[in-house]
Amino acid sequence: MLRWQNLFNRRWWMFAWHYLRGRTPWDTNVTPPEVLEFIREAPPGRALDLGCGTGTNAMALAERGYQVTGVDFSAQAIRAARRKAAKAGLGIDFRVGDVARLDDLSGPYDYALDIGCLFSLTAKDRASYAAGLARLLRPGGWYMLYAWLPRPWRGKNTGLSPDEVRTLFSQDFKEEKIVVGEEKGHGSAWYWLTRI
C-alpha cells in the first residue's frame, strides 16, 4: 500500500525496491538464538514484533504459544508475512504501520522484539517509538532489541550506542543485560530491558 507519507520517504522506496527485486539480505528467515533462548524460558503471552519484515520471528513466537502482532512499514513484507503464516496455519496479526506511531495498537503486551529497526529511525522517531513502546508494554514486560553500534553506512552514520539506548529508555525501562558482539565485521549489540 502506497501511503502519501511515503511518496517522499527515500527509506520506504529503497525497501520497496529491494522487496520488489527479491533481494532482501536482512531477511535471513532464521530466528536468532538469543530470541529462541528467551522464549523457551519465558511463559507465552502477547508479543509485539516491531519491524517484523516477512514474519520469521513472529512465527517463531506464535509457534511457542504467543499471541503476536507484527508491524512493518513495507506492504510487500507484510503480504509475504501473511502468506507464510497462513501456509503454516498460524494466526498472527500482521499490520502495515509505522513503528514510531503505534496509536492504533492497544496493550498490554508481555514481550516486544525489535531486530534491526530502531537504529534506522530518526532521533525524533526514536523518541516517539520509545514512548509508544512504554505505553504498550505491561510493567514487568520484556523488550529485546538488536541494533548496530554506530558506524558509517552509505555515506552517513547509523547505529545506536549503549548510552543512546539507555538515554532513550531510562525513564520507563530497566536495563537487564547488554551483549556486545559483531555482525559482518561491524559492532552490534543485544539489549534486554524490562518495563518499570
3-state secondary structure of 125: helix
Instruction: Indicate if the pLDDT at residue 8 is higher than 90.
Output: no
Q: Mean pLDDT score of the chain, rounded to an integer?
A: 90
High-pLDDT (> 90) share of the chain, %: 77
Q: What is the DSSP string of 60-77?
A: HHHHTT-EEEEEES-HHH
Rounded distance between C-alpha atoms, residue 194 and residue 139, angstroms: 8
Q: Are 129 and 15 in contact (CB under 8 A)?
A: no
Give residue 49's pLDDT. 98
| Listed residue (123, 130, 142, 129) closest to 196, CA to CA | 142
What mean pLDDT is predicted for residues 124-149?
97
Q: pLDDT digit string (tens) for 61-87? A: 999 999 999 999 888 899 999 999 999
Residue 41 has pLDDT above 70, yes or no: yes
Question: Residue 187: its pLDDT value, please?
Answer: 95
Q: Are 192 and 165 in contact (CB under 8 A)?
A: no
Q: What's residue 156's pLDDT?
A: 79
Residue whose C-alpha cell is 498472527: 92
Taking domain 42-65+74-195, whether its CATH number is 1.10.287.3510 is answered by no
- Band (pLDDT 50/70/90 cuts) for residue 57 is very high
Query: Going by C-beta distance under 8 Å and a sequence separation of 6 or more, which residues neighbour residue 104?
Result: 95, 97
Q: What mean pLDDT comes out for the span 95-105?
A: 95
176 contacts: CB under 8 Å, gap ≥ 6 = 192, 193, 194
pLDDT at residue 4 above 80? no
> Cβ distance 52 to 59 under 8 Å?
no
Helices 162-169, 123-136: crossing angle, 10 deg rounding: 50
Confidence of residue 16 (pLDDT cuts 50, 70, 90): low
C-alpha–C-alpha distance, residues 97 and 51, integer Å: 9
Query: Whole-angstrom Cα distance, residue 29 to residue 57?
Result: 8
Summarize the confidence of residues 101-113 as an average pLDDT.
96
Of 89, 80, 34, the residue nearest 55 (C-alpha): 80
Q: Which residue has the higher pLDDT, 154 or 184?
A: 184
Average pLDDT score over residue span 130-140: 98
Average pLDDT over residues 103-129: 96
| Band (175; pLDDT cuts 50, 70, 90) | very high
* pLDDT level of residue 24 (50, 70, 90 thresholds): low
